[in-house]
Structure 1
Amino acid sequence: MKKGIIYAVLAYLTWGFLPLYWRLFTAMPAWEILAQRITWSFVFVAVLVTVSRQWRRLKSVGSNRRSAAAIVLCSIFISLNWFLFIWAVNNNHVIETSLGYYMNPLISVLFAVVFLRERLSPGQWLSLFLAGLGVLIMAVQYGHIPWVAISLAVSFALYGLAKKIAKLDVLLGLAGETIVALPVALGYLFYIQSQGTGTFTSLPPFSIILLLLSGAATAMPLFWFAKSMQLLPLSFVGFFQYIAPTTSLLLAIFLFNEPFSEGNLISFSLIWLALIIYSFVTFKKSKVKVVPISRADAL
């Protein structure tokens, strides 16, 4: 439980600060940033697979139809999520991305109950109601359907569900996901370069180095997220996602100067109240379930 919590916090805190990173590449179109991100993520993960000597295991995973299908689905969902997030950040919609990731835990919990038959206590249901109310108020503030927020929430919830069901090795799963998306990414990069519309070569050297590091910036939080998925219930992991949108929301308000109304403040307060209630109830519930095991029993 403790290791799972550490991995979840690391993943979501890193994702919360990613708007700062992607704002460095506002001169690049979102599709080109996505293609570069996929390419360098593959390079980073490929190095890890090589060092750990797991290419043979990766090949066996790809030969299994169930595992291969799960990898393809994960690759599609996470690529869609990446593109929407990059586009929104570089088009001054950071608060809406925050809204999307506030909604995501609710959808993750819903998927956990519907597909994985996880059960929630009355206190957990109360916290979900409060969080849902907060999200609803934030949505009403926009005066229209927040399609970016909804798309981000659903795509990442589906990614988490696919990872949970597939039960793949963390590193092999990440390698498979990047391999699936790599041909499309490389094809797009070669195309725009041949058309003279690519911007990679026109970037200053420091920006190029930062873009190359996008592989590590992408793969590491995904690795931590996948590890937390292995060690914690899906509904519990989902609620840790409030760390990322809270961090992004603070960046949007105090650094990017996006408007933040009183209604947003009410929503923000309701969501944090929900987080406190859910965390308290979940920790209490997990503590009750712990049964001491003697050495003789273990043997």
Structure 2
Amino acid sequence: MTGNARPADEGRSGLPAALAAYGLWGLLPIFFKLLHHVGPFELVAQRVFWSLILILVLLAARRALGPFREVLATPRLLLPLAASAVFIATNWTTYIWAVNDGHVIAASLGYFLNPLVNVALGVLVLKERLRRGQTLAIGIAGIGVAIMAASALTTLWISILLAFSFAFYALIRKMTPVAPMAGLGVETLILTPVALAYLGWLAGHGGVSFGKDGFTTAMLVVSGAITTVPLVLFAVAAHRLPMATLGLLQFIAPTLQFLSGILLFGETLNHGQMASFALIWLGLILFAGDSMTAVRRNRMAAV
């Protein structure tokens, strides 16, 4: 009886973690808009520094500093983590700049596209095979991207850069045998010298925002938690929920970002963008539906 109840219990505990992670990611535009007066490079540097402190505290609290040190002593793991650190830093910087420059909708499109880019990399790099329904879904979403390219050329690069930088980040982390928290800690540590050097340069030129006023200083410190906490919650959810469920919940974040852009920040859509989003959403719905159907078939076959 206990053995049968355990997966359900894990699913129930994993769902709040997933909802919290994607909800926090979806509300990031509001947080970064509050720091619109801080340059994107400084904001990323501050995120890196304060994230490292929080991650080290969490690793120490969980008595997990051992795996962290082991990764640091393993050169074959450091190289891919250095690459993933570059990709995630590129993603963060692009996203912050896009939000504070009034391109929240373009940023949200990047994260709508991200699952489809993940699939493409899975096929090309990991040699995974697509089912017929997945191929149809990707084709429909691809038409939506083509329409977006024709109707929003000036901001398309934002969506593409966000989608591909996070997809390559996820691919490298998938192929690197490192625990999530230890890997995140090493990535952050790799970025820290660059972050501190940039902050030092800013301070020497009187341009650093940290310490100028209480609100900005507090928000920059909180940026470490805003970076780390959703990743920790996501790691919990990924361990306890089926991939199909995670795939459906993944669209909470870009949907919230999209709604923020329209309802809170006054961004507008042209006809081409509306058609593009409609096709991309249709493709994502078909893709998620196909994934859920496949999971049910596999469960029935296993019974």
Residue 163 of structure 1 contacts residue 226 of structure 1 at CA under 8 Å; is this kept in 2? Answer: no
What residue is the counterpart of 1:27 in the other structure? 37
What residue is the counterpart of 1:250 in the other structure? 259
Among 97, 101, 106, the alignment partner of 1:87 is 97
Mean Cα deviation higher: 285-294 or 274-283:
285-294
Summarize the Cα distance change of 1:268–1:293 in structure 2 as closer, same or farther, 3 Å threshold: closer
Amino acid in structure 2 at the alignment position of 1:109: V
The one-character-per-residue Cα deviations of 1:253-280 (angstroms, maximum 9, x if unpaired) are: 1111112123322222222222222222
In the alignment of these two chains, the number of paired residues is: 293
What residue is the counterpart of 2:163 in the other structure? 153
Summarize the Cα distance change of 1:130–1:265 in structure 2 as closer, same or farther, 3 Å threshold: same
Provide the TM-score with structure 1 as the length reference: 0.88
> CA separation in 2, counterparts of 1:102 and 1:126?
17
The one-character-per-residue Cα deviations of 1:209-264 (angstroms, maximum 9, x if unpaired) are: 22211111101222344455667898986675433222211111111111212332
The one-character-per-residue Cα deviations of 1:167-226 (angstroms, maximum 9, x if unpaired) are: 3111111111111111111111122112211122213x2332222111111012223444
**1:97 and 2:107 matched:** yes
**1:259 and 2:268 matched:** yes
| SS of equivalent residue, structure 1 residue 175 | helix
Among 270, 286, 299, the alignment partner of 1:290 is 299
> CA separation in 2, counterparts of 1:5 and 1:268?
27
What residue is the counterpart of 1:216 in the other structure? 225
Amino acid in structure 1 at the alignment position of 2:222: L
> CA separation in 2, counterparts of 1:139 and 1:18?
25
**1:273 and 2:282 matched:** yes
> CA separation in 2, counterparts of 1:16 and 1:23?
13
| SS of equivalent residue, structure 1 residue 99 | helix
Residue 104 of structure 1 contacts residue 153 of structure 1 at CA under 8 Å; is this kept in 2? Answer: yes
Residue 244 of structure 2 contacts residue 288 of structure 2 at CA under 8 Å; is this kept in 1? Answer: no
Give the CA deviation at 1:284: 1.4
| Identity within the alignment, % | 37
Residue 8 of structure 1 contacts residue 224 of structure 1 at CA under 8 Å; is this kept in 2? Answer: yes
Summarize the Cα distance change of 1:69–1:227 in structure 2 as closer, same or farther, 3 Å threshold: farther
> CA separation in 2, counterparts of 1:50 and 1:78?
24
Mean Cα deviation higher: 41-50 or 263-272:
263-272
Give the CA deviation at 1:66: 2.5
Amino acid in structure 1 at the alignment position of 2:162: L
Structure 1: gaps of 5 or more residues: 295-299
Amino acid in structure 2 at the alignment position of 1:188: Y
Summarize the Cα distance change of 1:266–1:61 in structure 2 as closer, same or farther, 3 Å threshold: same
Residues 1-299 of structure 1 mapped to structure 2, 5 A cutoff: 2=11, 8-144=18-154, 146-203=156-213, 205-227=214-236, 241-290=250-299
Structure 2: gaps of 5 or more residues: 1-6
Summarize the Cα distance change of 1:237–1:112 in structure 2 as closer, same or farther, 3 Å threshold: farther
CA RMSD of aligned residues (A): 2.6
> CA separation in 1, counterparts of 2:52 and 2:253?
24
Summarize the Cα distance change of 1:65–1:8 in structure 2 as closer, same or farther, 3 Å threshold: farther
